[in-house]
Structure 1
């Protein structure tokens, strides 16, 4: 970047947060030109772009947190034809030594772009892979909650009244136990037997609902993954979850990733448009 930036070019560094973003502009010579704080909203993005353009020809934006708080700003700038580079957040050690300063972080981001230390483009987050990521987040949360529900069931059963616990011991199979618990009738809460049944019934119903949610997410993820990279799912030992993780890692715009080994030009029977799928087919 430092070899191609002219003296008149403007580079903007942005430190992003949930509610506000801090921006600093520097010239191609590294001169600090000004700073700006904007709300993290469409109106704020427009104000930032107007401010940057008023300073001169904008060479690039270096943005921290393009996968989180800076995702909206990155998409906005890309839609308006401005190159955006992904800047890593400063190390915790540096922040501890000098304290947290949003303006300094934004200027550091801009100077990283000027020095050519950052070259990665952020994930676009606007197509099928972003849809997969959304569903994967929801699925993983449901799986975690389902595991916690099962642990809670076991903890209550272990200490439940003997008559209840012995009756449950005669049931065989996890699903049989869960359906039995979900159908319990605790009656008035006047004893530990009733409270144990009420708790077991509520948690068992929660587990069953979460299990149905996980299966729905799996079906949707399977459809999206199959449509995007069918060859990936045909690789030996490749499941829907693993395939989804690989696609999320690469993103919707795989040109961000550079490798000394070129992507295969041909693939086995089911050819995919996504490079991850083409590579998996040749594995």
Structure 2
């Protein structure tokens, strides 16, 4: 069956709905007419087959790919290596799904039309450098932190239900003293409630110690990688490896995809949103953006409000002007995003300069 050919000067958009095992693609021309749709295996061979299928339509191809940070990452990388434009597309809104229904072909078509209409413009992260390494280590650390927290909660719960002589001995202890005491317990043969409680407490406490050691190792790796990539970022007041990692993860290995500092602030969820009506002129918090980055900015702001003299002076001045604490924190987070974006300038400059050098 012959494929419809598009003139070389006209645009062709290929929308792709990505899944774990199969990707579904729909091609449309610049007038919105459907050129074709097909399913492809979600592997290296399938990526190449999909790209060749898209190029067979002619024209100027652009891919609109859903899930470029998960199931679509491999396809986005393959498209980029072929020097073809790729746009990240968010999932279709629920209102459209209620009206048109839900299928892989519909989702792929919606992805293509979002690119054609200019609603989707984000360039995917390349995920091929040190920042991707930081993201992976950060995932390992976050999982370990959650497990350590769960271990401590479980330990204290077991103590609440332990025999009185054991409970009364352990409850007054501080956290580290409690961990060390429980890890050193000698339950002997598990033949009584007391011995089983000691056995359980020792197992949980030693698990906590193991996880704490693992987290320390992750933090050392994060410190090394973040300092290597953006030393000015990690040198900022109250910005540790964890916060620096969150900022770098938001920017990605190709931070030039973020057009400006205000765009970075919006990506972090700290760009103020107008909330005015009539004669008022107010703004509110942005509930969107990267929530982990937003939380990291919040933690830095809270530390600076307590220990950073310029920030303390700013808070005093804005409080005198009648600003609430929430409004002041919003302003500080916005200013901090600007500061950290400037600290990441060396990360952007090499890639920004490369087209001119070529």
TM-score bin, normalised by smaller chain: 0.7 to 0.9
Deviations 1:185-238 (A, max 9, x none): 222222111211111111111111111111111100000000000001111221
Deviations 1:96-129 (A, max 9, x none): 4433211011111112222222222100001011
Structure with the larger helix share? 2
Structure 1 Cα separation of the partners of residues 29 and 150 of structure 2: 54
1:177 corresponds to: 178
1:110 corresponds to: 112
Structure 1 Cα separation of the partners of residues 345 and 35 of structure 2: 47
The 5 A counterparts of 1:204-223 are 204-223=205-224
Structure 2 Cα separation of the partners of residues 150 and 143 of structure 1: 11
Which consecutive residues of structure 1, in runs of 5 or more, have no partner in the other structure?
277-283
Tell me how far 1:144 sits from its aligned partner. 0.9
2:248 corresponds to: 247
Which consecutive residues of structure 2, in runs of 5 or more, have no partner in the other structure?
1-6, 265-339, 350-358
2:85 corresponds to: 83
Structure 2 Cα separation of the partners of residues 259 and 6 of structure 1: 32
Deviations 1:144-197 (A, max 9, x none): 111110000011111211121233246x44223212212222222221112111
Could you tell me whether the CA contact under 8 Å between 2:254 and 2:348 is conserved in 1? no
2:347 to 268, 274, 278: 274
Could you tell me whether the CA contact under 8 Å between 1:7 and 1:27 is conserved in 2? no
Distance change >3 Å, CA 194–CA 258, structure 1 → 2:
same
Structure 2 Cα separation of the partners of residues 105 and 7 of structure 1: 27
1:143 to 126, 133, 145: 145
Could you tell me whether the CA contact under 8 Å between 2:27 and 2:36 is conserved in 1? yes
Distance change >3 Å, CA 232–CA 11, structure 1 → 2:
same
Could you tell me whether the CA contact under 8 Å between 1:228 and 1:272 is conserved in 2? no
Deviations 1:231-252 (A, max 9, x none): 0111122121111111111111
1:33 corresponds to: 35
Larger mean Cα displacement after TM superposition, 18-27 or 252-261: 252-261
Larger mean Cα displacement after TM superposition, 114-123 or 149-158: 114-123
2:48 to 46, 50, 53: 46
Q: TM-score, normalised by structure 2?
A: 0.69
2:230 corresponds to: 229
Distance change >3 Å, CA 260–CA 247, structure 1 → 2:
closer
Partner-residue secondary structure (3-state), 2:25:
strand
Structure 2 Cα separation of the partners of residues 174 and 244 of structure 1: 28
Structure 1 Cα separation of the partners of residues 8 and 32 of structure 2: 11
Distance change >3 Å, CA 144–CA 54, structure 1 → 2:
same
1:21 corresponds to: 23
Structure 1 Cα separation of the partners of residues 209 and 107 of structure 2: 47
Structure 2 Cα separation of the partners of residues 100 and 249 of structure 1: 30
Partner-residue secondary structure (3-state), 2:346:
coil
Tell me how far 1:86 sits from its aligned partner. 0.8
Tell me how far 1:85 sits from its aligned partner. 0.5
